[in-house]
């Protein structure tokens, strides 16, 4: 299933980058949806190419009952981001991979941070897939709106964070 989302944040690309990898911001965003931030690791300087690994535990209360029976009360989600160095125009590209422990679900996405005056347009394109034979498409189809909503929540929370910090 395809993911696609666009939003604009009122800060420059470097500031948005710093927010997206800030441990306090990631903790607040995780708690906003009833989850817990387990760990954050940033490898490299955010001014250039770097990577992050974020591990969260999230509740399954919003999943369909049949899915909750399969995965339990909570999910451990590992998000790995590989950030490219800023391009000549200041834009950034991030390759995002999400893995859900105990669930046959994979998310691969590309996020672009594009400068627009003093703001940043955040474009996200990706795919949700499942390796389960015959049912994989249905699993991915059920998960896609949840993943899309989670990514939109991150952007909404980022704007609130920018406004308050």
- pLDDT at position 4 is 79
The HSE-up count of residue 16 (CA atoms within 13 Å, CB side) is 30
Name the DSSP letter for residue 7.
Answer: E
Q: What is the spatial distance between Cα 132 and Cα 103, in angstroms, rounded to a whole number?
A: 10
Using DSSP bridges, classify how beta strands 2-9 and 105-116 pair: parallel, antiparallel or unpaired. Answer: unpaired
Percentage of the residues of the chain whose pLDDT score is greater than 90:
47
Domain hosting residue 123, numbered range: 2-164
Q: What is the spatial distance between Cα 164 and Cα 159, in angstroms, rounded to a whole number?
A: 9
Residues 88-135 pLDDT 10s: 999 999 999 988 887 677 788 899 999 999 999 999 888 877 665 555
Q: Which two tokens stand for residue 82?
A: 């590989």
- pLDDT at position 77 is 87
- pLDDT at position 164 is 87
Whether residue 137 has pLDDT greater than 70: no
Please enumerate in sequence order all residues whose Cβ is within 8 A of that of 21, keeping only pairs 6 or more positions apart, or say none. Answer: 40, 42, 46, 52, 81
Q: What is the spatial distance between Cα 65 and Cα 163, in angstroms, rounded to a whole number?
A: 37
Closest CA to 58 of 143, 161, 137: 143
Block residue for tokens 């919003």:
62
Domain count across the chain: 1
Name the DSSP letter for residue 73.
Answer: S
Residues 51-80 pLDDT 10s: 999 999 877 766 656 555 666 677 788 999
Confidence of residue 17 (pLDDT cuts 50, 70, 90): very high
Q: What is the CATH number of the domain that holds 130?
A: 3.30.530.20
């Amino acid at each position: 299933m395809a993911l696609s989302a666009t939003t604009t944040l009122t800060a420059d690309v470097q500031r948005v980058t710093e927010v997206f990898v800030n441990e306090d911001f990631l903790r607040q965003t995780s708690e906003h949806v009833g989850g817990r931030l387990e760990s954050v690791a940033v490898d490299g300087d955010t001014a250039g190419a770097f990577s992050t690994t974020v591990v969260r535990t999230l509740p399954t209360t919003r999943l369909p009952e049949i899915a909750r029976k399969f995965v339990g009360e909570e999910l451990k989600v590992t998000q790995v981001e590989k950030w490219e160095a800023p391009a000549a125009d200041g834009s950034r590209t991030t390759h995002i991979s999400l893995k859900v422990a105990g669930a046959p679900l994979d998310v691969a996405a590309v996020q672009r941070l594009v400068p627009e005056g003093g703001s940043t347009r955040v474009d996200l394109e990706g795919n949700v897939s499942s390796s389960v034979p015959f049912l994989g498409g249905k699993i991915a189809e059920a998960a896609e709106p949840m993943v899309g909503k989670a990514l939109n929540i991150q952007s909404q929370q980022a704007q609130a964070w920018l406004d308050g910090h």
